[in-house]
Structure 1
Amino acid sequence: MSTLNISAYRFVSLDDLPTLRERVLERCHALALKGTILLAPEGINLFLAGSREAIDSFLDWLRIDSRFAGLQAKESLSDDVPFKRMRVRLKKEIITLRKPTIRPEGGRAPAVDPATLKRWLDQGHDDEGHDVVLLDTRNAYETDVGMFPQAVDYRIASFTELPDALAADQTRYAGKTVVSYCTGGIRCEKAVLHMQDIGMQRVFQLEGGILKYFEEVGGVHWQGDCFVFDERGAVDKALAPSLSADERIDNEHPSGSAAA
């Protein structure tokens, strides 16, 4: 497999969006990268594909800007480039929740790393003996491809529906440790901050999302594959493309935007 695919995000305050967009797009074109980058006042969300040399060069260039110095990428490989073009888009949010009081750039949500979550699932409780509830923050068409089978799945059509679903079901989580998860971490980070805002305790995001979980612990306890927002459609637990060409889900899904 000759194509390196990365996904990454960073919540950080950005106030030079039009200029930054032009600089980022110019650099991506110069390196022959393809994919989608979202820029918003709250940060950056990116999915890129290209040669390892080009990807590494872009990340090195991006991290020269101190705002992106801590950006970490999840990697996977494919034979082909799973994007048709290169887009850099300006958005109100890099992941839409429509909760303006949620500002991840002001401080990260509590997180649990993949190895710790695996241990908790192995033993049936967290390290303090609390039952663990997994919360899938993704859309229904994503959970249909694969999920932790014991997770709460609200069958939402959009991330913006999650707050109402939680509000109607809050007693489910009383006295338990809640770990929210998503593809790459961005949605579950906002979800945890919202859960804290409504008074929920012992809430964590899965650090790096499903992709990092596959990378570090091999997808133990996971059932199925993981939907991704490009022409691969999904990746398996080895982070390899898992769907045949006629099964792939078009990356121009009605949502029209990258997610993680």
Structure 2
Amino acid sequence: MASVLNVSAYLFTAVADPGTLRPTLKERAIAAGIRGTIILAEEGINLFLAGDADAVRGFVAELRRDPRFAALTTKESWSEAQPFGKLLVKVKREIIRMDHPTIRPADRRAPAVDPLTLRIWLDRGHDDAGREVVLLDTRNAFEVDYGTFEGAVDWRLERFTQFPDAAAARRAELEGKTVVSFCTGGIRCEKAAIHLGELGIDAFQLDGGILGYFEKVGGDHWSGECFVFDEREALDPTLTPRPQR
């Protein structure tokens, strides 16, 4: 029986003291018996955690009591075993590295499309204005190889820092279309959509990412699995981990 709760979450929000906050969060997580990774930066927080359901939800609830993290929303899935070997709490320059300092989602969020609306667009073959919808996978190539949306554009990125140059080189291919950028949980595709908007592209991010789509829609228009960065390796559209080999 799957009894370990896995949560992923991120929030772009101003954090002036990530180094000071780090030991506090680490102490709380250890006390709760939680494992996983928490990344802190001046631009926000990104986390992947697993453990007893009450402990994990309690940790998140305590985190939300900090006004900076009050808007944090989590995506939940379950596993039979703890998918993380240890707890890591890191302070970095960015919670997801893009090396593009003008992209500041805490100041202005990317336009977003919710999973149910995206499914309607894909069912129709166009958005509400009748424009062609282009799905743009912002993940690394090895992640895409596990699974992606049918017909999605894949630029074979080796790392996310390559995205700005790839977008500049392919800008003409996206002009005049409605572009929906997507990624595992939403963090990369949010920065990607903001950058595309700066290039003059009509771009949205998929709200909640692939995992949010699985949770609300399932596997419609999806082929394969979704790679995740823990020992589960990949989840199918029912959010079930792939069988251990």
SS for the counterpart of 1:106 is coil
Q: Contact 1:138–1:159 at 8 Å: present in 2 too?
A: yes
**How far apart, CA to CA, are the structure 1 residues paired with 2:111 and 2:56?**
29
**How far apart, CA to CA, are the structure 1 residues paired with 2:243 and 2:142?**
15
Q: C-alpha displacement at 1:92, in angstroms?
A: 0.3
Cα offsets for 1:36-89 (capped at 9, x unmatched): 000001000000000110011101110110000010000000000100000100
Q: Contact 1:234–1:243 at 8 Å: present in 2 too?
A: no
**Match for residue 165 of structure 1?**
166
Q: Contact 2:22–2:89 at 8 Å: present in 1 too?
A: yes
SS for the counterpart of 2:196 is helix
SS for the counterpart of 2:126 is coil
Q: Contact 1:148–1:223 at 8 Å: present in 2 too?
A: yes
Q: C-alpha displacement at 1:129, in angstroms?
A: 0.1
Q: Contact 2:135–2:182 at 8 Å: present in 1 too?
A: yes
Cα offsets for 1:157-204 (capped at 9, x unmatched): 00011111111111111111000000000000000111111222x210
**Match for residue 222 of structure 1?**
222
SS for the counterpart of 1:53 is helix
Cα offsets for 1:200-234 (capped at 9, x unmatched): 2x210000000000000012000000000000000
SS for the counterpart of 1:105 is coil
**Match for residue 43 of structure 2?**
42
SS for the counterpart of 1:7 is strand
**How far apart, CA to CA, are the structure 1 residues paired with 2:163 and 2:127?**
24
Q: Contact 1:42–1:93 at 8 Å: present in 2 too?
A: yes
2:83 is the counterpart of 1:82: yes
**Match for residue 238 of structure 1?**
238
Q: What code does the residue aligned with 1:220 have?
A: D
SS for the counterpart of 1:38 is strand
Q: What code does the residue aligned with 2:124 have?
A: Q
Aligned length: 244
SS for the counterpart of 2:106 is helix
2:27 is the counterpart of 1:17: no
The normalised TM-score by structure 2 is 0.98
Within 5 Å, give how 1:203-214 maps onto structure 2.
203-214=203-214
**Match for residue 131 of structure 1?**
132
SS for the counterpart of 2:63 is helix
Q: Contact 1:34–1:86 at 8 Å: present in 2 too?
A: yes
Q: Contact 2:171–2:199 at 8 Å: present in 1 too?
A: no
SS for the counterpart of 2:129 is coil
Q: CA RMSD in A?
A: 0.7
**How far apart, CA to CA, are the structure 2 residues paired with 1:243 and 1:235?**
10
The normalised TM-score by structure 1 is 0.93
Q: C-alpha displacement at 1:135, in angstroms?
A: 0.3
Q: Contact 1:135–1:178 at 8 Å: present in 2 too?
A: yes
Within 5 Å, give how 1:1-260 maps onto structure 2.
1-200=2-201, 202-245=202-245
Q: Contact 2:37–2:88 at 8 Å: present in 1 too?
A: yes
Cα offsets for 1:64-120 (capped at 9, x unmatched): 100000100000000001000001000000000000010001021000000000000
Identity %: 57
**How far apart, CA to CA, are the structure 2 residues paired with 1:212 and 1:69?**
19
Q: What code does the residue aligned with 1:228 have?
A: V
Q: C-alpha displacement at 1:149, in angstroms?
A: 2.4
**How far apart, CA to CA, are the structure 1 residues paired with 2:168 and 2:49?**
35
Give the gaps of 5 or more residues in structure 1.
246-260
